């Protein structure tokens, strides 16, 4: 168990929807990182959640930035801190949604990581453009209803796989990347604390359910997040200097079928049986591939001493 600090750097009175997974995400992240942190946030739910001027519910500096700029903004803050010789232990965090990270923000993110910027770039992933009202993103999973994949009479749900940001980050030779899940605050905080130990770019992919967009019950956010883990839909793993490590696995007897995860959410209820089966196959295949990558990078590519 990680030592979870009592101190709250995110105060109550936020503007998030009931049951918002992204609200959990910020709270846990700040518990891990502490006060020596500055955050920049582009257009996303978290541009609204902190409050309307002059209110603000975070106890850290917060630079609001344009949608596609998170990586560049982190670079600018870090460069200024370096230029001013200000404490290098300050965490410079870019905190963006899945659209701001994987779609419109991917260029600036790629640039910042490629330049070796000393920053923690965070994608809180609610699997669609939620702040603008549930439009599909490149990270929306296959099968999901969104307002721009409205299913209709033609079965027009989200087609194609979820963009894999962890692998994209790995391709940049990033020192450290990890996935975390708001249902597991101990490992969530532990991985952020671990990220702090590295220099250069770090990437954290947060699984953050959105009851409003997922058409799920607000009081089932954590339950759904648990199911994402137990069904292996959202594996918990880290990549440390190229080595994959699945740091938390559901016990065999606890593994649930993907269907159980899907059916908790209105966004998947339209799916015919064969598509649910295909999604199960894809999840199994992804898991198998991940485990093989883990084995390969641990045992063959980079031999453990």
Partner 1 sequence: MSEYKIVTGNFSSAYGARLARAEVVSAYPITPQTEVVEKISEFVADGEMDTEFIKVESEHSAMAGCIAASATGARAYTATSAHGLALMHEMLMWAARARLPVVMTNVNRAMGPPWSVWADHLDTVAEKGSGFLQFFCENNQEVLDSILMAYKICEDEDIMLPGMIVEDAFILSHTREPVEIYDQEKVDEFLPEYDPDIKIDIDDPVGYGSLVMPDWYMDFAKKLEEAMDGAKDKIKEVNKEFKETFGRDPGGLIEEYKTDGVDVLMVTMGSISGTSKDVIDELREEGHNIGLARLRTFRPFPKERVRDLVKDVNVVGILDRSYSFGAAGDAAREIKEALYGDSNSPLVKNYIVGLGGRDLTPKILEKIMQDTLEIQDKGLDQEVEWVDLRSDSKKWRR
Nearer to partner 1, 82 or 284 (CB): 82
What is the C-alpha separation between 85 and 268, in angstroms, rounded? 51
Alpha helices (H) in 84-135, listed in sequence order: 98, 106-114
- Closest approach of partner 1 to the CB of residue 38, in Å: 5
Looking at the Cβ atoms of 80 and 301, the one nearer to partner 1 is: 80
Helix axis angle, 21-33 to 185-196, nearest 10°: 50
Question: What is d(CA 213, CA 135) in angstroms, rounded to the nearest whole number?
Answer: 9
Please, which residue, 1 or 83, has the CB nearer to partner 1?
83
Q: Give whichever of 61 and 133 is closer to partner 1, judged by the CB atom.
A: 61
Q: How far is the CB of 72 from partner 1 (least distance, A)?
A: 4
- Of 57, 89, 92, 59, nearest in space to 75 by CA: 92
Q: Where are the alpha helices (DSSP H) in 201-272?
A: 211-214, 221-230, 258-262
Least distance from C-beta 7 to partner 1, angstroms?
14
Nearest approach, Cβ of residue 93 and partner 1 (Å): 12
First to last CA, the chain: 27
**Residues in CB range of 163: below 8 A, 6 or more apart:** 102, 138, 139
C-beta closer to partner 1: residue 110 or 148:
110
Burial of 260 (0-12, 13-18, 19+ CB in 10 A): exposed
> Cβ closer to partner 1: 90 or 227?
90
Name the site residues for partner 1 (rule: CB under 8 A). Answer: 35-38, 40, 47-48, 50-53, 56, 58-66, 68-69, 71-77, 79-84, 90, 107-108, 110-111, 114-115
Tell the smallest beta-carbon distance from residue 281 to partner 1 (Å).
37
Place of tokens 């699984």: 207
91 three-class SS: strand
Q: How far is the CB of 108 from partner 1 (least distance, A)?
A: 5
């Amino acid at each position: 168990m990680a030592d979870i600090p009592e101190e709250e750097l995110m105060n109550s009175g936020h503007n998030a929807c009931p049951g918002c997974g992204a609200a959990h995400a910020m709270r846990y992240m700040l518990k891990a990182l502490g006060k020596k942190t500055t955050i920049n946030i582009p257009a996303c739910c978290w541009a609204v959640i902190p409050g309307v001027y002059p209110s603000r519910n975070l106890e850290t500096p917060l630079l609001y930035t344009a949608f596609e700029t998170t990586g560049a903004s982190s670079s600018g803050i870090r460069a200024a801190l370096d230029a001013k010789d200000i404490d290098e232990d300050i965490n410079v965090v870019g905190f963006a949604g899945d659209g701001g990270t994987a779609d419109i923000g991917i260029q600036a993110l790629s640039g910042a990581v490629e330049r070796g910027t000393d920053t923690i770039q965070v994608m809180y992933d609610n699997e669609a453009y939620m702040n603008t009202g549930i439009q599909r993103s490149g990270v929306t999973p296959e099968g999901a209803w969104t307002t721009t994949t409205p299913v209709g009479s033609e079965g027009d749900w989200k087609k194609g796989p979820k963009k894999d940001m962890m692998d994209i980050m790995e391709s940049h030779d990033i020192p450290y990347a990890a996935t975390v899940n708001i249902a597991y605050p101990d490992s969530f905080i532990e991985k952020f604390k671990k990220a702090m130990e590295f220099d250069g770019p770090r990437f954290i992919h947060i699984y953050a359910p959105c009851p409003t967009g997922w058409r799920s019950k607000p009081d089932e956010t954590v339950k759904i997040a648990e199911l994402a883990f137990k069904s292996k839909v959202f594996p918990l793993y880290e990549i440390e200097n190229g080595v994959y490590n699945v740091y938390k696995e559901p016990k065999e007897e606890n593994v649930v079928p993907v269907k159980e995860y899907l059916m908790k959410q209105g966004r998947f209820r339209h799916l015919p049986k064969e598509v649910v089966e295909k999604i199960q196959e894809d999840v199994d295949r992804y898991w198998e591939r991940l485990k093989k990558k883990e084995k390969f990078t641990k045992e063959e590519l980079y031999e453990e001493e």
